A and B are shown apart, each in its own frame.
Chain A
Amino acid sequence: MNVIEVKQLKKIYNTTEVKVNALNGVDLTFEQGEFAAIVGPSGSGKTTLLNMLGGLDEPTEGEIRIGGTNILELSSSKLIDFRLRNIGFVFQAYNLIPVLTALENVEFIMQLQEVPKKERQQRAIALLEQVGLGDRTNSRPSKLSGGQQQRVAVARALASKPKFVLADEPTANLDSKSTANLLDIMEELNRKENITFVFSTHDQRVVNKARRVITLEDGQIISDLKKE
């Protein structure tokens, strides 16, 4: 079953005198349970594509369907709600809410979904335990290392029970040990719970773990390899 379907996606930036074709007719599908990496040189369109898939930016042309819903037809507030219920995000710089503890950060997204207090607390604790932070639930982000913060971000991304998780350069700010640890956690979640992960990355370690590698260049897919 296709979780994401992208047809003839184009994005042209007109912000400078010269038009920039960030995406130039991308066709792509992701199935449930994929562990895929989008790679390519800087300026190839990786982040733009990820932003489009996450409904964070609008394409100039094309169609994006997530679980059968054309997200480009949704109003601004419905799109926010759609993201809340269907998409998990992991960002490069962790981006946790600094005034909330690890537990509250994970709970926060469920609170937006209006999950009852007891249920969301149990799920948040379970998720933090899954990412190996069961003993740091009451720590604020400033008291956690970069790797620990990114693991909280993964737990937060999964808290809403999304259809898939988009991770934009999730290991860019991590040392090798934290990177390996984070990738192991995400791979385990992918294998055990069949959660779809889509990464945009420069990191060879992420590419090595991914079971599908999509290479972009000048806004076009130049290769789409699936590993056995």
Chain B
Amino acid sequence: MRKNLTLAWRNIWRNRKRTIITAASVFFGVLLSTFMTSMQEGTYSKMIDNVVSFYSGYIQIHQNDYWENKTIDYCFTPGNSLLETLKNTPDIVFHVPRLESFTLMSHGNNTKGAALIGIDPPKENHLSKLSHWVVEGNYLKPGDDGILLAVNLAKNLGVEVNDTLVLISQGYHGASAAALFPVRGILKFPSPAMNNMGGYIDLKTAQNFFSVPNQYSSLVLMVSDYSEVNRVKHSLKRDLADSYEIMSWDEMDPLTKNMIDADRSGAYITKGILYTLVGFGIFGTVIMMMAERRKEMGIMVAIGMQRSQLSAILFIETALIGLIGVLAGFAISLPLISYLVFHPIPLTGEAAKAYEEFGFEAAMYFSVQWFIFARQVLIIFILTLVIYVYPLVKTYGMKLTRALHA
């Protein structure tokens, strides 16, 4: 093996310029691809972060079948084993309880159907920064008996801060639920859909209103990184043995997930074209290498080198050129991307405005996750394997007498 490696290493430097040019094509391929993937993943991560922190969280725990029915009859009291499991799962940063149902909201002659969400005000603010969107009035205090209304809903109902709203709904197992709620504040979200959604009241007040003391409709979990979501979800499913419905953000918000998937598919095509070009660069070098050294290869087999060993040397040569390009690519991309992770590129002008309107920070984010780099090694390795078919076929099909007189 060592001799094969030595031979391969010396062989690739026989034509120094060609090797450098080929490795350079790999280098630029890796650099562009890592940069592109890092930016994509960073943006997705930020996008998901924004989406989950507005409402859904990364993971939610419900009573089984809650998501299908979404009624107050599917709320639950978290057992000790659930709370213990959440506490012992290191990637869960914190969890927030909610009690959510549907109500009729009425003021004067106006009545609208809307969602009513019972929240723990400080915890919810930690998750979704809800107080940030209060444009009139104040945010809820713990034990508050008032309500926060989304701006469009407030407009449609014709209410302002300090007006009183009548709420009518169905409580637990058909009990009637009705109460008066003074409007504490008006919320204006960046998303138009959320501005029509409904109102927020204190969790205890909501539990009393719906007659479900100490019960929640969901526990919203935040995890340390979105790439950990699936792992945490499966770990919870395993530990909680199907006692609860555990849903990840993408199951609750398939639209965002589909948008990211579609964007990823587009990027795969771009990267596919990029690597096809890189592959042809390597392939061209291999063809030239084989043509130049046909006689030498014939001599090697004639004096006793097995064709398998010869083809192994050719594989190592191809892989080495790829590896040089990959390592050189990493040497530049890793520090550059690491820097950009901590120093995102700020956006200006119209692009910045568009980002800010949606409540996103106007900057391009990067990610430095290991798979971005590991994938490049894998792609180059696969390219090498595919290209290797050519020397393999040529080596095994080589007629010695012709090669010796080439």
CB-defined contacts of A112 to chain B, threshold 8 Å = 303-305, 309
- Interface check A174, CB cutoff 8 A: no
Residues 92-122 of A at the B interface (beta carbon under 8 Å): 93, 95, 97-100, 108-109, 111-113
- Interface check A40, CB cutoff 8 A: no
Residues 39-57 of A at the B interface (beta carbon under 8 Å): 51, 54, 56-57
CB-defined contacts of B299 to chain A, threshold 8 Å = 89, 91, 95, 97
CB-defined contacts of B304 to chain A, threshold 8 Å = 80-81, 83-85, 109, 112-113, 160
- Interface check B10, CB cutoff 8 A: yes
CB-defined contacts of B10 to chain A, threshold 8 Å = 99-100
Q: How far is the CB of A44 from chain B (nearest CB, A)?
A: 16
- Interface check A156, CB cutoff 8 A: yes
Which of A83, A97, A109 has its CB near the most chain B CB atoms (within 10 A)? Answer: A97
CB-defined contacts of B400 to chain A, threshold 8 Å = 51, 56-57
A100 to B10 Cα, complex, angstroms: 8
A80 lies within 8 A of B307 (CB) = yes
A77 lies within 8 A of B7 (CB) = no
A111 to B301 Cα, complex, angstroms: 14
B296 lies within 8 A of A97 (CB) = yes
CB-defined contacts of A80 to chain B, threshold 8 Å = 301, 304-307
CB-defined contacts of B295 to chain A, threshold 8 Å = 93, 95
Total contacts A to B, CB within 8 angstroms? 60
In this complex, what residue of A is CB-closest to B13? A99
CB-defined contacts of B262 to chain A, threshold 8 Å = none
B303 lies within 8 A of A89 (CB) = yes
- Interface check B166, CB cutoff 8 A: no
Residues 287-330 of B at the A interface (beta carbon under 8 Å): 295-296, 299-309
A99 lies within 8 A of B401 (CB) = no
CB-defined contacts of A111 to chain B, threshold 8 Å = 3
B-contact bits for A17-48, CB 8 A (1 contact / 0 none): 00000000000000000000000000000000
- Interface check B11, CB cutoff 8 A: yes
- Interface check B404, CB cutoff 8 A: yes
In this complex, what residue of B is CB-closest to A77? B306
A156 lies within 8 A of B303 (CB) = yes
- Interface check B14, CB cutoff 8 A: yes
Q: Which label, helix, strand, loop or mixed, suits the secondary structure of the B interface? A: helix
A95 lies within 8 A of B296 (CB) = yes
A77 lies within 8 A of B401 (CB) = no
B14 lies within 8 A of A83 (CB) = no
A56 lies within 8 A of B302 (CB) = yes
A94 to B34 Cα, complex, angstroms: 47
A77 to B311 Cα, complex, angstroms: 14
Number of A residues with CB within 8 Å of any CB on chain B = 27
CB-defined contacts of A85 to chain B, threshold 8 Å = 304
A98 lies within 8 A of B296 (CB) = yes
A89 to B305 Cα, complex, angstroms: 13
Q: How far is the CB of A21 from chain B (nearest CB, A)?
A: 17
A98 to B309 Cα, complex, angstroms: 18
Residues 1-57 of B at the A interface (beta carbon under 8 Å): 3, 7, 10-11, 14
A83 lies within 8 A of B7 (CB) = no
CB-defined contacts of A56 to chain B, threshold 8 Å = 302, 400-401, 404
A93 to B404 Cα, complex, angstroms: 10
B7 lies within 8 A of A99 (CB) = yes
- Which residue of B303, B308, B401, B404 contacts A83 across the interface (Cβ within 8 Å)? B303
Which of A56, A156, A160 has its CB near the most chain B CB atoms (within 10 A)? Answer: A56
CB-defined contacts of A93 to chain B, threshold 8 Å = 295
A96 to B7 Cα, complex, angstroms: 13
CB-defined contacts of A156 to chain B, threshold 8 Å = 303
Residues 241-288 of B at the A interface (beta carbon under 8 Å): none
In this complex, what residue of B is CB-closest to A86? B304
In this complex, what residue of B is CB-closest to A107? B3
Q: How far is the CB of A204 from chain B (nearest CB, A)?
A: 24
A83 to B304 Cα, complex, angstroms: 6
In this complex, what residue of A is CB-closest to B2? A111
Known A-B contacts A57-B401, A95-B296, A99-B14; A84 and B303 likewise in contact (beta carbons under 8 Å): yes
A113 to B302 Cα, complex, angstroms: 14
CB-defined contacts of B11 to chain A, threshold 8 Å = 99
Known A-B contacts A51-B401, A56-B401; A83 and B306 likewise in contact (beta carbons under 8 Å): no
CB-defined contacts of B7 to chain A, threshold 8 Å = 97, 99-100
CB-defined contacts of B307 to chain A, threshold 8 Å = 76-77, 80
CB-defined contacts of A81 to chain B, threshold 8 Å = 304, 306
Q: How far is the CB of B32 from chain A (nearest CB, A)?
A: 33
CB-defined contacts of A157 to chain B, threshold 8 Å = 303
CB-defined contacts of B308 to chain A, threshold 8 Å = 77
A51 to B302 Cα, complex, angstroms: 10
A89 lies within 8 A of B302 (CB) = yes
Q: How far is the CB of A7 from chain B (nearest CB, A)?
A: 21
Q: How far is the CB of A218 from chain B (nearest CB, A)?
A: 20
24 residue pairs A–B, Cβ–Cβ below 8 Å: A51-B401, A56-B302, A56-B401, A57-B400, A80-B305, A80-B306, A81-B306, A83-B302, A83-B304, A84-B304, A85-B304, A89-B299, A89-B303, A91-B299, A93-B295, A95-B299, A97-B300, A98-B296, A99-B10, A99-B11, A99-B14, A108-B3, A112-B304, A112-B305
Task: Name B's A-contacting residues (CB within 8 A).
Answer: 3, 7, 10-11, 14, 295-296, 299-309, 400-401, 404
For the A-B complex with A80-B301, A80-B304, A81-B306 known, give 18 more contacts whose Cβ atoms are closer than 8 Å.
Answer: A51-B401, A56-B400, A56-B401, A57-B401, A77-B306, A77-B307, A77-B308, A80-B306, A80-B307, A83-B303, A89-B302, A95-B295, A95-B296, A97-B296, A99-B7, A99-B11, A99-B14, A111-B3
The 5 closest A-B pairs by CB, nearest first: A84-B304, A99-B10, A95-B299, A56-B400, A57-B401
